[in-house]
Amino acid sequence: MASCPQDSLWNKCLPALKKFKSALLDFFLAPPPELKKAFEKQEMYTNSDTSRIDEHLLFNNQDEEKLKEEELQNDKNYWWNYEGAPYAETPVFEEIDNQKVTEELCLKIERGEFPVIEIPSNVMRTMQILNNQEFDYAEVASLINHSPGMAGEFIRVINSSVYSRGVVINDIKLALPRLGRENIKALLYMYSAKISFLNDPLFNQVAVDIVEHSYSVGIIAAYLSQRYYPDPDGAFLAGLLHDIGKLGILKALSQLYDLPKHVDFKVTEEVFDNIFPGLHEKAGKYLANHWKVNEDIVSAIEHHHDFMNIGFSEDDQLAFHLSCIVNLSDNMARILGSGRRIGPVNIFSLPSTIDLSIEKTEDTICFLDDIPKIIAYKQGEMKGAPGNKTSPKTSAPQKKI
């Protein structure tokens, strides 16, 4: 029997009409989603007392989770979210043209004519021993002990909580093996750079400040490496040497340019804000190569500010991460008052933090909370550290040996 055309149209429309009818019924008769949830809960409650308790616990846990989440969002209570140091007008040396000096020093680096920081003869002797494959820590220790200033620098760094592991060390012989050969050498370079400014009234204080900042960066870098980089000693070394180029530039300025012996303003790093950026990385690479420092460390010295624009290859990922660790540690040290002025910054927004895949979790926050304490290796330093908003935890009493 032939089918009627109206019948076939009806058959085609029927499923759509049924769907429309069901949607209409749902819309007018079904409870709203919140009510539906409540009915479902009510049903669960009446099923058994146990489920009621479970639900209650679930709500409490959800509240707790929500509170934690809000707390994490509320960064302003943490030291690593810094509102920025107050801006101050910085003086300049009228005797020199910053742009011209930068170009001239750049050319000297390219031509291999940049002045190197001299290593005093006693430090050089220690270096030579360290260069022997089978050196003796006791011999190195006795040479370092001949110079109380040098011994003091070693003891101070070794007693930072990263290396001391809760034990106060006053004996260089015990301190040295913990540092290892490369770090001892780096500390000797830093010491040499520092004392080379002792008789320079113009640059001595700024050189000391740069060295102090470098210690802080090295120590923070070693600490961060417990989680975010496989070689804490390498990180310490890179952090320690990252701004060595600034000391090289100061040395070059004092040797090559006619500057006054005294000025009526405080010579801080900010005075060199038109010379250091861009140039100190190149000068640092030059000095580190001269001292035969390993290439990942040299790369971190060269790229601790521009690592994001370099395009490190697959094979160079360790070097890339080392630059990130140094950059992050540098920012942290500056927030905590060690190093040049820093503007408003939240550590979790930094490219280095993102590239290291550091996520803001409760666990990470606990880990970061210890950093103000670990760089407070000088007694009383932490009390005055700007930006340190978290309440300092009382550290475990240290044993003396």
Residue numbers at the binding site for Fe ion (CB under 5 A): 243, 330
**CB contact at 8 A, 179 and 153:** no
399 forms bridges with which residues in the sheet?
Answer: 167
Least separation, in Å, of the C-beta of 181 and Fe ion?
A: 24
Side-chain half-sphere exposure of 146, counting CA atoms within 13 A: 10
Q: How far is the CB of 124 from Fe ion (least distance, A)?
A: 27
Q: Say how far apart CA 126 and CA 311 lie, in whole Å.
A: 38
* Closest distance to Fe ion from the beta carbon of 103 (Å): 20
The dihedral sign for the CA sequence 98, 104, 109, 110 = positive
Residue 235, classified by CB atoms within 10 Å of its CB into exposed (0-12), middle (13-18) or buried (19+), is buried
Minimum gap (Å) between residue 217 Cβ and Fe ion: 6
Q: Based on CB atoms, which residue is closest to Fe ion, 234 or 284? A: 284
Shortest distance, CB of residue 316 to Fe ion, whole angstroms? Answer: 20
- Minimum CB–partner distance for residue 41 and Fe ion (Å): 57
Q: How far is the CB of 155 from Fe ion (least distance, A)?
A: 23
Q: Are 219 and 339 in contact (CB under 8 A)?
A: no
- What lies within 8 Å, CB to CB, of 164 at 6+ separation is 158, 398
151 vs 240, beta carbon nearer Fe ion:
240
Residues near 396 by beta carbon (within 8 Å), at least 6 away in sequence:
166
Do 328 and 239 touch, CB atoms closer than 8 A?
no
Q: Within 13 Å of residue 229, how many CA atoms lie on the same side as its CB? A: 31
Closer of 243 and 270 to Fe ion (Cβ): 243
Residue in the structure block whose two tokens are 């093996």:
177
Nearer to Fe ion, 81 or 214 (CB): 214
Work out how close the CB of 243 gets to Fe ion at its nearest, in angstroms, rounded to a whole number.
4
- What residues does 81 pair with on adjacent strands? 346
Q: Which is nearer to Fe ion, 164 or 338 (CB)?
A: 338
User: Which is it for strands 399-400 and 167-168: parallel, antiparallel or unpaired?
Assistant: parallel
* Other C-beta atoms lying within 10 Å of the C-beta of residue 69: 11
- Is the Cβ of residue 330 or residue 355 nearer to Fe ion in the bound state? 330
Question: Smallest distance, Å, CB 353 to Fe ion?
Answer: 16
* 236: its two tokens: 């310490």
Comparing CB distances to Fe ion, the nearer of 296 and 330 is 330
345, β-bridge pairs: 82
Strands (E), 98-250: 167-168
Query: Are the C-beta atoms of 374 and 324 separated by less than 8 Å?
Result: no
Our CB check for Fe ion shows the closer of 137 and 286 to be: 286
CB closer to Fe ion out of 117 and 175: 117
Residue 350: half-sphere exposure toward Cβ, Cα within 13 Å: 27
Identify the three-state secondary structure at position 282.
Answer: helix
